[in-house]
Amino acid sequence: MDMGTNFGTVNFERRKHPRISVNLPVEYRKIENPKPHPAHTGDLSEGGLLLHISEPIELGQELSLKLFFTSARVLTSVTALVQVTWKDIRIANDGLYRIGVKFVDISSEGLTLLKGFLNSLSSLKSAQELITSPRLFPAD
């Protein structure tokens, strides 16, 4: 019985940094055009993010990006230079394009803020999983 060469093969995602699904407001600018455009994230990591934008963007294009999030109950923003590493050839159901970008230049302060925010999201996710996981032992 020939199961093919891929039988039993596991395809692990090879990302350096884990991504967290989160919808955050973003403002981006094309380097050659200083006009800001609104966007939002689909996911986020220390290495980059998934963006939902309203216009087509070319692979390799660099963008100036401002990411907004709440840190310690204070609205915070991090500015970075990003590069488009992939794009969806289809327009999503909401009429937006999906692109993947990696951080090319982000300040050490910005990276520290981003890491702190991601760690807080990971902690919330872990706490939520503990709350919603079935009990291993019956309650007394």
33 domain residue, yes or no: yes
Per residue in 9-66, pLDDT (tens digit) is: 444 445 577 788 999 999 999 998 889 999 999 999 999 999 999 999 999 999 999 9
Residue 73 corresponds to which tokens in the numbers above? Answer: 């109950």
Per residue in 119-140, pLDDT (tens digit) is: 888 777 654 554 454 544 455 5
- Residue 137: predicted pLDDT: 47
State the Cα angle at 43 between 98 and 131, rounded to 5°: 145
Which CATH number characterizes residue 73's domain? Answer: 2.40.10.220
* Domain total of the chain: 1
Domain of residue 43: give its range: 20-126
59 domain residue, yes or no: yes
- Residue 126: predicted pLDDT: 54
Which of 68, 69, 67, 60 shows the shortest CA–CA distance to 31?
60
- Residue 139: predicted pLDDT: 52
35 domain residue, yes or no: yes
Per residue in 93-102, pLDDT (tens digit) is: 788 899 999 9
Per residue in 77-112, pLDDT (tens digit) is: 999 999 999 998 777 678 889 999 999 999 999 999
50 domain residue, yes or no: yes
pTM comes to 0.76
C-alpha span between 67 and 42 (Å, rounded): 12
42 domain residue, yes or no: yes
Which of 42, 37, 36, 24 shows the shortest CA–CA distance to 99?
42
- Residue 128: predicted pLDDT: 53
